[in-house]
Structure 1
Amino acid sequence: MEALNADVIRAAVPSPPISGGAVADRIADVLGTPNQTLHGDPVNVTAFVVRRFVDRGLPVGLSANPDETLHHPDQVAEVCRRKDLAELIAADTPLGPEQATARLRLRRTDFDHMVRLGWVRFPAGDEVRFGTSRAGAVDVAPYTTASVHTVPAEHPEVDWEQLRTVEKSRRSPLAALRPEATPLPA
């Protein structure tokens, strides 16, 4: 096996790789919504969104560490020049279950049935630790805005307007549905 040549690597990546957090900051700056705020507000572009970009190959991850990504600065600059950057960010913005429920204008129980039915999934099995203490923290699955918004179009068999008017104490019409069986490989 041939050893890696440090000069070849430096020639291919003349600037040091940058972290996922730094990528998120650069993208936020390009969009005119800097992540650095004066009042400790939440960031506008998160590392979660950057991981979704890596899943799409925009930019390629250079690290084998799943918890901390590194990226080629030239690829990041290329991503930042995309005309559809804001749309990509919006599609990959993470939503918790309550936010997804509000976006769909449904009750939480209806959304839970959609998850049970496999109609909406969170990407790559990521979960976010929510809470301040180990005893009070819970794992919350972030769903992407794009995946939540496609559910009604993918399931025209549901009367979405009627579903949105079901009273709080009533059973969800989705409760009677069963997940479709996944065909076994041949």
Structure 2
Amino acid sequence: MTRRTEYDESQAAGRLRVPIAAFRWARHTGLVPTPDASSYQWSRATVEAMDADAIRASLPHEPISAAAAADRIARALGTPNVPGEPPVVSAFAVRRLIACGLLTDLTANPEAVLINPDQVAAVCGIEGLAQRLADEAPLGPDQAAARLGVRRVDFDYMRDLLWVRPAERREVRFGTSRAGAVMVPLFTTASVDALPAAHPEVDWEQLRNVGKGRRSPLAALVKARQQEKEAAAV
């Protein structure tokens, strides 16, 4: 049987007989060194030199889900999430904190985020956290259009112009069947709020007062952009 000479993180954790979450946390803290065999693999010698007991001890508590982390953060801010009501702090916000580097995901599965509860507690003490979470609050396309005071079609043109991009897409079900599920793009509140200042070339007052069924002032910009792409492709 051929001996393995290189290990990815799952294989290394298995070799050391430590939970993958503990291995990922130890890597985050520097206890596990940077991969030396490739960008994501460790050599056999490096894995064998790792201290399995220290890796286990680095994560003394069971990791928690994004939803549980959101609940803890909401309580710490004095605005607890209430079951059955829209959350003050959502799992989306927690995933954004991960994207910002303030929290560390301990699983490779984006649908099953796991976080060190001690790190969540530390994040709860960050100054200005409430405003940061407000900036990261999710908005669907209709909500984003309403927040800007424009029609949904106008916001869709902004997306076509690449003025704003979704932070992520989540599956939303209508009814109990998966056949009724659609992927909905979610935008951060901050990215939507930044649009007017980022594009002063647009007459926002005019845009906000375009009547129903009238052509959007942004349509010409979209057409011009498409023509530029077509010209560049020739």
The answer for unaligned runs of 5 or more in structure 2 is 1-43, 230-234
Q: Distance in 1 between matches of 2:212 and 2:130?
A: 36
Q: Does 1:26 align with 2:72?
A: yes
From the superposition, tell whether residues 177 and 90 of structure 1 become closer, same or farther in structure 2 (CA, over 3 Å): same
Equivalent residue number for residue 162 of structure 2: 118
Equivalent residue number for residue 158 of structure 1: 202
8 Å CA contact 1:52–1:92 kept in 2: the answer is yes
Pick from 86, 92, 96: which aligns with 2:130? 86
Equivalent residue number for residue 71 of structure 1: 115
Deviations 1:12-60 (A, max 9, x none): 11222222111111011112222243xx212221111111100011111
**Other structure's SS at 1:16 match:** coil
8 Å CA contact 2:169–2:183 kept in 1: the answer is no
Deviations 1:71-120 (A, max 9, x none): 12221111100121111111111101111011000011111100111111
Task: State the 1:6 CA deviation.
Answer: 3.8
Q: Does 1:139 align with 2:183?
A: yes
Q: Distance in 1 between matches of 2:180 and 2:56?
A: 46
Q: How does the TM-score come out when normalised to structure 1? A: 0.88
Q: Distance in 1 between matches of 2:136 and 2:148?
A: 16
The answer for unaligned runs of 5 or more in structure 1 is none
Q: Does 1:44 align with 2:88?
A: yes
Q: Distance in 1 between matches of 2:106 and 2:63?
A: 8
Counting matched residue pairs gives 180
C-alpha RMSD of the superposition: 2.0
8 Å CA contact 2:171–2:181 kept in 1: the answer is no
Question: By percentage of residues, which structure has more helix?
Answer: 2
Fraction of identical pairs, as percent: 55
| 126-135 or 158-167, which deviates more | 126-135
Q: How does the TM-score come out when normalised to structure 2? A: 0.71
**Rg: which structure is higher?**
2
From the superposition, tell whether residues 157 and 130 of structure 1 become closer, same or farther in structure 2 (CA, over 3 Å): farther
8 Å CA contact 1:130–1:140 kept in 2: the answer is no
Equivalent residue number for residue 56 of structure 2: 10
Greater RCO (CA < 8 Å, at least 6 residues apart) = 1
Task: State the 1:151 CA deviation.
Answer: 0.8
